[in-house]
């Protein structure tokens, strides 16, 4: 009797604890991923705003190129992102990783650059054979009025998102573990309290 009751209580506790817990966990994961990507989209627009004059002038101003390269290099070192700025033809004019993302390289074949040149903000994820890792990217247009002067693309490792999600969900794991321990303890206590009088009656008869 006690084992049956204990099993029923544990099953009910699992449903009540794990169900809402998993829903909350998934919500936090999705929200944190979205927050992370939104922050990079905002940064890309800021870089685009700083690069607009350079691109508008035909990207021939070497002084501006040096200043902007220093700017995006410092940003890349801080954020861990690779940054490229293309002109309206999809040609790379600024890059934080010239060894892989060279100046003068044509990026119009990249779907995110094509979309950004059409005035759209895009984000996504792809596997990099070179780096052997999942990379996340955001691409935004450098736009003023109806004119698109180029694009900014940020590319960063998925590890950054994973680390941010892990930080935010650590508390949830501890709360969930505590709830499971509490539910098991309560199930043991309740099953004992319920079955003990029944056992006494059975022994007396």
Closest CA to 97 of 112, 111, 80: 80
Closest CA to 100 of 87, 121, 82, 123: 82
Q: What is the pLDDT of residue 157?
A: 78
Give the 3-state secondary structure of residue 97.
Answer: coil
Q: What is the pLDDT of residue 192?
A: 62
CA 54/CA 107 separation, integer angstroms? 19
CA 177/CA 170 separation, integer angstroms? 11
Cα–Cα distance list, 140 to 95, 150, 185 (Å): 15, 9, 53
Q: What is the pLDDT of residue 7?
A: 54
DSSP characters over 70-88: HHHHHHHHHH--EEEEEET
Single pTM value for the model = 0.68
For every one of its 205 residues, what pLDDT tens digit does the chain have, with 9 covering 90 and above? 455 544 554 555 555 555 555 666 666 667 777 888 899 999 999 999 999 999 988 656 788 889 999 999 999 998 888 999 999 999 999 999 877 778 899 999 999 999 999 999 999 887 776 667 778 899 999 998 889 999 999 998 777 666 666 766 666 666 666 666 666 666 666 656 656 665 655 555 5
Q: What is the pLDDT of residue 5?
A: 46
- Count the Cβ atoms, other than its own, within 10 Å of residue 19: 10
**103: which DSSP letter?**
T
CA 158/CA 176 separation, integer angstroms? 26
Boundaries of every domain in the chain? 2-25+163-199, 39-158
Structural domain 39-158, CATH architecture: 2-Layer Sandwich (3.30)
Residue 187 CB-half CA count within 13 A: 21
């Amino acid at each position: 009797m006690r084992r049956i009751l204990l099993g029923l209580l544990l099953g009910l506790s699992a449903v009540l604890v794990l169900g809402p817990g998993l829903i909350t966990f998934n919500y936090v994961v999705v929200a944190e991923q979205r927050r992370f990507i939104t922050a990079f989209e905002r940064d890309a627009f800021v870089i685009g705003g700083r690069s607009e004059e350079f691109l508008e002038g035909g990207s021939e101003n070497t002084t501006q190129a040096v200043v902007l390269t220093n700017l995006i290099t410092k940003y890349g070192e801080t954020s861990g992102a690779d940054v490229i700025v293309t002109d309206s033809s999809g040609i790379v004019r600024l890059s934080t990783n010239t060894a892989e993302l060279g100046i003068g390289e044509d990026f119009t074949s990249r779907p995110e650059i094509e979309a950004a040149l059409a005035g759209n903000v895009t984000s996504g994820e792809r596997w990099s054979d070179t780096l052997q890792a999942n990379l996340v990217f955001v691409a935004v247009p450098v736009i003023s009025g109806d004119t698109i002067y180029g694009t900014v693309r940020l590319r960063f490792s998925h590890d950054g998102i994973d680390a941010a999600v892990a930080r935010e969900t650590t508390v949830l794991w501890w709360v969930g573990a505590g709830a499971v321990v509490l539910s098991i303890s309560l199930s043991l206590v309740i099953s004992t309290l319920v079955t003990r009088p029944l056992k006494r009656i059975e022994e007396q008869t």
